[in-house]
Structure 1
Amino acid sequence: MLRYTLMRLGIFVGCLVVVWGAVYSGIAPRGLGSSNGLWIVALALLISAPISLVVLRKERDRASVQVAQRVDRMKANLDANRSQEDVADDTARAQGQTS
């Protein structure tokens, strides 16, 4: 998961550098007034999102498998804890009825 996040961040930073260079060289339009920095970040996000979607498809699938496995493991642990509580409750009730 960390690998996917770092790869996505790397694509965004690469797009940010390219957009910054394009804006300051005059290839891309500048933002309105003092919004130039925000314009550069927004444009970099807009460009990096579809690139990440295509380029990181396999890594995203790997990350989703890891997340699904983690969720399944947590569910199994929760079920195990519930069954332990049920056994302890049943035992306590049985001991209370015999006394």
Structure 2
Amino acid sequence: MSAAKPNAMIRYTALRLLIFVGCFFVAGVAVHFGLLPSGLGGSNIVWVVLLGLLLSAPLSYVALRRQRDEMSAQIISTVDRTKARLDANRTREDAVQ
């Protein structure tokens, strides 16, 4: 028995989160050892989060292109099915009147 393939949106979000967590960890280590400047006063954690976001955004954009395309195709398919159902319902309503 094979496991069900996860939803493309869930898979993309999980991979994006993993990339952020990795970048957050790297940024935290770099700040701790003085390779990157620390934040002002008590804002160190906010600074590390921002650095993690700044590092993970371009990495996710490049590394997750295939997953993003799959997710986009899934969303387009869902929207097309919903539009078709709405059109069918509208046609039935017009036929009844």
| Number of the residue aligned with 1:14 | 22
| RMSD of aligned residue pairs (Cα, Å) | 0.6
One-letter identity of the residue aligned with 2:62: V
Structure 1 unaligned segments of length 5 or more: list them.
90-99
Measured after TM superposition, the shift of residue 26 of structure 1 is 1.2
Q: Provide TM-score, normalisation by structure 2.
A: 0.89
| Number of the residue aligned with 1:64 | 72
Q: Percent identity?
A: 55
Deviations along 1:42-74, one digit per CA (max 9) or x if unpaired, are 010000000000000011001000000000000
| Number of the residue aligned with 1:93 | none
Q: CA separation in 2, counterparts of 1:48 and 1:25?
A: 20
1:35 aligned residue (35, 43, 46): 43
Structure 1 residue runs of 4+, over 4 Å off?
A: none
Give 3-state SS (helix, strand or coil) of 2:38's partner: coil
Aligned length: 89
Q: CA separation in 1, counterparts of 2:35 and 2:94?
A: 68
Q: CA separation in 2, counterparts of 1:73 and 1:9?
A: 29
| Number of the residue aligned with 2:96 | 88
Q: CA separation in 1, counterparts of 2:66 and 2:39?
A: 35
Q: Provide TM-score, normalisation by structure 1.
A: 0.88
Structure with max Cα Rg: 1
Q: CA separation in 2, counterparts of 1:23 and 1:75?
A: 50
Say which structure is richer in helix.
1
Structure 2 unaligned segments of length 5 or more: list them.
1-8
